[in-house]
Amino acid sequence: MGVEKFGPVRVGLLGVGTVGGGSFDVLARNQAEITRRVGRRIEITRIADLDTERAERVAAGRAQVTGDAYEVVRDPQIDIVIELVGGYRIAKDLVLAAIDNGKHVVTANKALLAVHGNEIFEAAQRKGVMVAFEAAVAGGIPIVKAVREGLSANRIEWVAGIINGTTNFILSEMRDKGMSFDAALAEAQRLGYAEADPTFDIEGVDAAHKATILASLAFGIPVSFDKCYVEGITRLQAEDIRYAEQLGYRIKLLGITRRRDEPGGPRGVELRVHPTLIPAARLIANVEGAMNAVWVRGDAVGDTMYYGKGAGAEPTASAVVADLVDVARMLTADPDNRVPHLAFQTESLAADLPILPIEDVHTAYYLRLRVADEPGVLADITRILADARISIDAVLQREPARGEAETDIVLLTHRTIEKQANAAIARIEALPSVLTKVTRIRLEDLD
């Protein structure tokens, strides 16, 4: 082809599920274009999968297939290992073995990096190899490269993202069609957006893995998944979606990480995943269906937003193959001059910049209360909030139906510290006129 400066880069692929098969196909289909960009061919020469028959169908004679992944990570002819096995234990062992054998690694495994990333990146640093992971966060959206390289001139202030397509689809269905959570989940499963066991998605764990990685990239801190506050969408009710809409907001499951260093306040990083009210006018509030979006604010660039498909065979394969291209381009570079894994030089990672507990988070709130329809109820509630120095931004009170003895009151508060909100909510719930637990959803204006 006239552009190859070196011999081919040989790649071993571990796992040929949806993303693995997509990566093999995308690389083969766009081989000529990729070779022009890299200056050498990138070839998947070995595939490992327990289902060797499936692997043989994907390879179609173009790669050697084995059922033993360790054969691939130990093969002296392999330059890069793509880990698409998933999970924690086996994937961790394979990645560390690949690194120990001097292989560069490309992975889409957000759970692995969120939990064991510090150990993996340290091992890679010692061996002088790269670990590339664009596909681990938001699928085909190049958010890792954007934060790590494109915004490297900026002091990042916060990152907020819709980074789980399953939950965004469910919330969109609840809003658009008035579905209950259970009905919307069933529809997501029917269409293939949700797994048979959707726990990691609907409880916010998947989004928390991704938010953890983004926090490290944005603020130069070690990965700290164990300190991330995680709250899913399973307790959301259709009426909360409706009330939010009436007040000019939409509810999204957001991963949020924000730097906090105001004078007199706690210094650290907020790292949290939870349902969040967002003003309907914001771009990110209008991201619907299974799409993902990440909003980043830097001190120089201001606000930037990145939108696209966060999952699927080819969108995720796009990120996997882009990582292969990056690694292939850097194979001959001095390891000390490569882009750092977590954007900041390893020795400068800010272990002294703590993840703040959720009690220290500073945000506004949506509060829905089921109350007895009697005089003085709202006055009692507002008095408690005033005592806690929590000011009210808006009130919505549903008129009870004829003969109904109870009703809903919805309050939007201004920003306050979570521990103050917790204390006020406990006092409100103790009122005899408040009939159920208070429904509390955090609110972010993203201004």
Q: Which residues are catalytic?
A: 210
How many CB atoms are located within 10 Å of the residue 138 CB? 32
> Tokens standing for 233?
């969408």
For residues 104 and 115, give the distance between their C-alpha atoms in angstroms, rounded to a whole number: 20
Q: Do 163 and 207 contact (CB within 8 A), yes or no?
A: yes
Sign of CA dihedral 58, 61, 62, 65: positive
Amino acid at 256: I
2 Rama class: left (phi>0) / alpha (psi -120 to 50) / beta: left
For residues 118 and 211, give the distance between their C-alpha atoms in angstroms, rounded to a whole number: 15
